[in-house]
Amino acid sequence: MEFKRQYIVNEDSQRVAVQLDIHTFEKIENVLENYALVQLISADDSETLSVEEAKKYYAGLDKA
């Protein structure tokens, strides 16, 4: 994956920040969220639910 980036520098020409276009940022964000979700699922030791149990559980969640 190629990143188009621009560096923001201070008075001493030291890099202090990176600016990415929104498309690149969203791709990185998506990869990080997917990785975190996989890690969370892998670490979950709880029991699995049947389809009916899952429907009942999700129906009871707060829909904010």
* pLDDT band for position 64 (cuts 50, 70, 90): low
CA distance 39 to 31: 12
Classified as helix, coil or strand, 17 is strand
How far lies 57's CA from each of 22, 37, 51, in Å? 36, 20, 10
Q: What is the pLDDT of residues 24-62, one digit of tens each?
A: 999 999 999 999 988 888 887 777 788 998 898 888 887
pTM of the model: 0.55
